[in-house]
Amino acid sequence: MFAGAVLAGAMLASSAFAQDKGTIYYMVPTLLDEFQTESVNAIESFLAQVGYETVTLNADNKTDLQQSQMNDTILLDPAAIVIAPVDFNALAPAIEQAREAGIPVMVFDRQVTSTKVDFTSVAGTVEIGHVAAAEIQRLLEEKNGSVSGKVLQVLGDPGDPYTLDIQKGFEERMADHPEVEIISLPAMQWEASNAGSIVADQLLANPDIDLIFVHAAHLAVAAVASLEAAGKQPGDVLLVSSNGAPVGLDLIRQGWEQVEVEQPLYAQAAAIAMFADKVVNGEEIKPGTYNVLGLESEITIEEWGPNLKIPGAAITAENVDEPRFWGNLTPPSDPIKPVE
């Protein structure tokens, strides 16, 4: 709440200086998720700092609703659309329709590769799986002396490509370690008590589970509740989560969780604002390395357009308090400047 207030304050302050460059619509996939909620605050604040008014539309995790929102927005002729698609591919026709109407489209957080877009700012969901795999290999080696053991992977909803991409990235990197047994189960609709039930059942069926990897921090909380109910102490079963939400960081501080793989939310949102002028004015975005809120990020020109990849970080007990992690809800104080 504090972070929201700070961001709102920053937005008001910056609005006073903001030029009126037009309205950008932000299509957020859901508001039932802390990452997405904070992304709304960040994008609205950062775009205001570079002169744009933002209108946010929530798709409530429904692809058809997001498609209609796109159709309606196209008729309003905004300066640009920022979209975090509910489904990575299903929104491609709507994106094409917007671009045909002369409205540039920027993709935030969830990569769309099946059609051309004007700019993409992502941490990379497959890459989050890669970072998680590297950390899990390290943790298993520290615990068992080698990369071996049993891992319970609790996915989000199996209909959400976001969780499937993380799974893909994770299992890609774990394939080199056949001595690690991975049990994968979905928490339907990303609902926490479903994750808790999976953990409770699996602790009985597989009491030798070494590590639990959940695909979102709010699922980790339910996993910990089940561990507690089973009489476990912090560290008895290792826990890794992804997205870097505040609750995940709290679990690291309490000792229940060892690693949280962060999606650099503030940097991803800041990049949208930094490149907004270029996208809106149809200027060329050059490949290369850019500094986004202190993170060295690289733009490559892909088939689907300029793609900025910002590295995700592994949060551990050693660095958990660093303000750069969005889960600490300390928005960057330096103003966002457009890329020249």
Residue with Cβ nearer another protein (33 or 127)? 33
Q: How crowded is residue 77: how many other Cβ atoms within 10 Å of its Cβ?
A: 11
Order across the sheet with 313-315: list the strands.
180-186, 149-155, 211-214, 238-243, 259-262, 313-315
231-260: contacts with another protein (CB under 8 A): 245-247, 250
Q: Which amino acid does the sequence have at 157?
A: D
18 is an interface residue for another protein by CB under 8 A: no
Instruction: Return d(Cα 166, Cα 160) in angstroms, integer.
Output: 11
The least CB distance from residue 247 to another protein, in Å, is 5
Interface residue with another protein among 91, 180, 211, 222 (CB under 8 A) is: 222
33 is an interface residue for another protein by CB under 8 A: yes
Residue with Cβ nearer another protein (159 or 311)? 159
Interface residue with another protein among 64, 142, 228, 321 (CB under 8 A) is: 228
Residue with Cβ nearer another protein (55 or 229)? 229
101 is an interface residue for another protein by CB under 8 A: no
159-188: contacts with another protein (CB under 8 A): 183-186, 188
Query: Stretches 7-15, 28-36, 171-179, 309-317: which one binds another protein (CB under 8 A)?
Result: 28-36
Residue with Cβ nearer another protein (121 or 194)? 194
Query: Stretches 9-17, 31-39, 123-131, 280-288: which one binds another protein (CB under 8 A)?
Result: 31-39
197 is an interface residue for another protein by CB under 8 A: yes
Residue with Cβ nearer another protein (299 or 329)? 329
Asked whether the beta carbons of 327 and 249 are under 8 A apart, the reply is yes
DSSP 109: S
The least CB distance from residue 285 to another protein, in Å, is 31
Each residue of 290-317: b (16+ CB within 10 Å) or e?
bebbebebebeeeebbbbbbbbbbbbee
Burial of 180 (0-12, 13-18, 19+ CB in 10 A): buried
Instruction: Return d(Cα 74, Cα 50) in angstroms, integer.
Output: 22
Instruction: Return d(Cα 214, Cα 151) in angstroms, integer.
Output: 10
The least CB distance from residue 121 to another protein, in Å, is 21
Q: Which amino acid does the sequence have at 338?
A: P
Q: Which amino acid does the sequence have at 71?
A: N
Q: How crowded is residue 236: how many other Cβ atoms within 10 Å of its Cβ?
A: 12
Applying CB under 8 A, which residues contact another protein?
A: 1, 4, 31-34, 36-37, 155, 158, 183-186, 188-194, 196-198, 200-202, 204-206, 218, 221-222, 224-225, 228-229, 245-247, 250
